[in-house]
Amino acid sequence: MNIKGDLLVKNTGLTFIARLVPMLVALVTIPYVIHGLGTERFGVLSLAWLIVGSASIFDFGIGRATTKFVAEALGKNQTDRVSTIVWTSIASQVTLGIVAGIFLYIFTPLLTSRILKISPSIEKESALTFALLSLAIPVVLCTKNLSGVLEAMQRFDLITCIQIPSSSFTALLPAIGVFFGLKLPAIMLLIVGGWMASVGAYLYVCLKVLPSLRTNISADRKLMRSLLSFGGWVTVCNILVPILVSSDRFLIGALLSVRELAYYIPPYEMAFRLLIIPGVLGTIVFPAFSTLAAINESRLGKLYFRTLLYVLVLMGPMVVTMILFAGTILEHWLGKGFAAESTTLFQILLLGMLFNGLAQIPATLLDGIGRPDVRAKIFLCYLLPYVVLAYILIMKMGILGAAVAWTIRAGIECGLFFVASWKLKRFKLASVTQSGFFKGVVALGCLVVTATAIRGISNVGLLVESSAGLIMLGLFATGIWRFVLDETDKRSLLKFAVLPSLSSRQ
């Protein structure tokens, strides 16, 4: 496994681009879709997206296991074994996806008529939308599986070429449907068709870069058991994480109304998009953590804390700035009415996302060192208390209570993961100090103080506030570059900035 800095930076940059472009498309199209469908229909569409995003419940850890097993086989030059791993995992995913799709189809009437508070006028339309969604579950699972094969091969360039149009069309197709006056079921059918095209593209690329997949099509039951064995505790996490992440919205839909979701989901989604930063970094360093845990624990500690530093200095200033200008962002994006309803919960959710983003790195470390069981046990410990807390706060405070509960949960989770990873690996204090993590914390603290001072100055106008914010971010970036990043970081970042140079090095 090649874990040199240049490769990690290049892959990180490509993956950021692949996730950033669809996010920008979604930011543009969501207001149009809300206006065209209405708040309640958009709430139904949002829940459909949420269900697809939670499809990893039915993954049973096979996607993560596939990435690990394929990477190991390629590292040992066992290319003949790669084909068996891939086709065995695909067969497993298709089977599990069909079962999950049937379950969703059967469960749909209960979901739309009794669990969610949906107006009778769109109940049938919503039921058909969720029924069509059941077709997508096997497709989504196979897409994740095939992209995991390319991750194991360090072919993030190919993943980027597929993911940008695929994810962008997922956000764009509803807007196209609204433009042509289509109903929710027709829009969902368009989205499912887009996902099918995506899995076809991934399969085509995998067949090109791994020609053995075309000649050795076979599955191994023993290997399937190995995949499931590795993914056992990962499966528990895959079940619990979507529940923890999405239960706030389901509780809002059940305790309040689907209409209230329209005021909660857009700011939530904007804040949630910030998690592409730890998500990308976690994807890149997962195989590196696995390798270094076996051969060099001192380098493991340094990489771990450097990754935490990157999350802090990339995500931290974005969170602080968005909290500072939360009301202005929502007003210009969704209108004054939306800003009045959602500004405070947006600010609270942004803080929670920072906690959650930091927590993802020790969570990735636990998987990398072969201890996903610890991660799952932590989730199990606070699942019920969190749901109870969210229930109480939503009943007392409405959608604002959901944001408060989410942020409290994220903060507790972050602390527990840090403690667990430290106890298991017993990192030396030198790993923390040499990584520059403490310096990053101090720099972010100074940024928070400065932002608070800017916020405390009233009646200065948006132009002055924006100018002060830009100066604040410029000083923060300068301080990070001069005093926090080491020479290796700087060289790697400069090399990635020169794209033609990177292309010539491939």
- One-letter amino acid identity for 494? L
Residues 97 and 180 in one domain: yes
Tell me which residue has tokens 């380098």.
299
- Total count of domains within the chain: 2
Task: Copy the structure tokens of residue 499.
Answer: 């794209």
Residues 276 and 299 in one domain: yes
Which pLDDT score, from 0 to 100, does residue 142 have? 87
Task: Copy the structure tokens of residue 152.
Answer: 């194991």
Last residue of a domain, one of 395, 410, 428: 428
Residues 217 and 255 in one domain: no
Contact between 62 and 231 under an 8 Å Cβ cutoff? The reply is yes
Which pLDDT score, from 0 to 100, does residue 504 have? 39
Average pLDDT (300-312) is: 87
Q: Say if 435 falls within a structural domain.
A: no
Q: Say if 493 falls within a structural domain.
A: no
Alpha-carbon span 131 to 112, nearest angstrom: 11
Last residue of a domain, one of 372, 401, 428: 428
Report long-range pairs for 376-379 (Cβ below 8 Å, ≥24 apart). Answer: 376/233, 376/236, 376/237, 376/240, 378/413, 378/416, 378/417, 378/420, 379/236, 379/237, 379/240, 379/241, 379/244
Residues 48 and 74 in one domain: yes
- One-letter amino acid identity for 9? V
Tell me: the pLDDT tens digits for 406-435?
Answer: 999 999 999 999 999 988 888 877 777 777
The pLDDT of residue 228 is above 90: no
Average pLDDT (254-275) is: 84
The per-residue pLDDT of the chain, averaged, comes to: 82
Q: Say if 406 falls within a structural domain.
A: yes
pTM of the model: 0.72
Tell me: the pLDDT tens digits for 273-300?
Answer: 888 889 888 888 887 777 677 666 777 8
How many Cβ atoms from other residues are within 10 Å of residue 65's Cβ?
Answer: 26
Structural domain of residue 21, as residue ranges?
1-230
Residues 336 and 408 in one domain: yes
Last residue of a domain, one of 405, 428, 451: 428
Q: Say if 281 falls within a structural domain.
A: yes
Q: Say if 488 falls within a structural domain.
A: no
Residues 60 and 191 in one domain: yes
Q: pLDDT class for 324, splitting at 50, 70, 90? A: confident
Which pLDDT score, from 0 to 100, does residue 505 have? 43
Residues 247 and 368 in one domain: yes
Q: Say if 494 falls within a structural domain.
A: no
* CB-side neighbour CA atoms (13 Å) of 488: 12
Residues 168 and 277 in one domain: no
